[in-house]
Amino acid sequence: MRSGEDGQVVYLERPIPAAEALGAVPAGIEPTRVLRFASHCVSACAHRRGNDCTLVERVRTLPAAREERSVPRCHLRGRCQWWQQTGVSACHRCPAVTTATFREDALATLVADPATTPEQLTAWIAASPDGPASDGPDGAGRASDRDR
């Protein structure tokens, strides 16, 4: 869940049913703006290549959200594909992952696009005049079908 104070991910003490979490979202706020839901990986996922997740490869291109060596307690780690595939480096980037991408966030849109390679992300970040939060070197982010 993202905190109201600074937008950072806050890990829940215990797993809760989605209905309970949705009930806590104030009226008029889109749940995907403040909540992130986890699910098991499926073989038909667009990010799947063999037994690996290509999304975590792109996410690991981003600067780590946390620099400390320890990671927060996570109820999913034992079943987490990213943890099994890349270990602690995925945990340091996990707080930056969102449920939905929005047109104004070009970097998140690129990361979510299965056609984007880690090398393309690295080049995009390097060419961005304002860093990862800008809209890209040409002023226009690539749209995905998840844009709103």
Each residue's pLDDT tens digit, 8-34? 667 777 888 888 888 888 888 888 777
CB-count burial class (<10 Å; 0-12, 13-18, 19+) for 112: buried
pLDDT at 95 over 80: no
Contact criterion met (CB below 8 Å) for 99 and 35: yes
Predicted TM-score of the model (pTM): 0.66
CB-count burial class (<10 Å; 0-12, 13-18, 19+) for 130: exposed
pLDDT at 117 over 80: yes
Higher pLDDT, 88 or 139: 88
Q: And the tokens for 120?
A: 């393309």
Over residues 101-116, the mean pLDDT reads: 82
- Return all residues near 105 (Cβ < 8 A) that are at least 6 apart: 141
